C-alpha cells in the first residue's frame, strides 16, 4: 500500500467514524429513556392525566423547580418556575395566559419571554416529550 492509498483509506475511515458518532448522538438525544441523568436524557416527571388542559403543575427536578403548563390536550410547555429578577416563584395565570411573579409584578409569556416588569431575562424553557401518557423533560432547550 502506497502513501496515497493509505491516506485515502484513513481519511474515509475517520469520516465514517465521525458520521457514525454524530448519528449515534442524535439517536440517543431523540429517543426518550427513563431513569437516566437529568440534563442529558429525557426524564419522566408526571402522568399526563394528572395535568388537566389549561392547568399548571410544579415539579422539581433535583434542585430545579419547573412549571408544567398543559396548553392543549397534546401539548405541554415547561418553564423554570424561578423568576429571573430576584428568584421568586412564578405562577401560571390562566386568565392572562401568562406567568406572573408576585414579588415585583413580572410577567412572562408562554415562550418564557418577559412581557412586563423588572425581570432582565426570559424564563428558561425545557424540551417536553409526551409518550405513553407520560410527560418527559430534557435539560435542553425547548
Give contact residues for ligand FES (rule: CB under 6 A).
Answer: 83, 85-86, 88, 101, 103-104, 106, 117-119
* Of 78 and 101, CB closest to ligand FES: 101
Contact 69, 92 (CB under 8 A): yes
Q: How far is the CB of 68 from ligand FES (least distance, A)?
A: 20
* Of 107 and 129, CB closest to ligand FES: 107
Q: How far is the CB of 96 from ligand FES (least distance, A)?
A: 15
Q: How far is the CB of 116 from ligand FES (least distance, A)?
A: 9
Q: How far is the CB of 29 from ligand FES (least distance, A)?
A: 32
* Of 64 and 129, CB closest to ligand FES: 64
Amino acid at each position: 500500500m502506497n502513501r496515497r492509498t493509505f491516506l485515502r483509506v484513513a481519511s474515509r475511515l475517520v469520516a465514517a467514524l465521525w458520521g457514525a458518532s454524530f448519528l449515534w448522538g442524535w439517536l440517543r438525544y431523540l429517543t426518550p429513556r427513563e431513569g437516566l441523568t437529568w440534563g442529558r436524557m429525557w426524564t419522566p416527571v408526571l402522568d399526563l392525566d394528572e395535568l388537566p388542559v389549561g392547568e399548571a403543575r410544579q415539579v422539581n427536578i433535583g434542585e430545579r423547580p419547573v412549571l408544567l403548563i398543559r396548553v392543549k390536550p397534546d401539548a405541554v410547555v415547561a418553564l423554570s418556575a424561578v423568576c429571573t429578577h430576584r428568584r421568586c416563584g412564578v405562577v401560571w395565570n390562566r386568565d392572562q395566559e401568562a406567568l406572573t411573579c408576585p414579588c415585583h409584578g413580572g410577567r412572562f409569556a408562554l415562550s418564557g419571554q418577559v412581557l412586563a416588569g423588572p425581570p432582565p431575562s426570559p424564563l428558561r424553557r425545557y424540551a417536553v416529550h409526551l409518550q405513553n401518557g407520560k410527560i418527559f423533560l430534557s435539560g435542553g432547550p425547548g
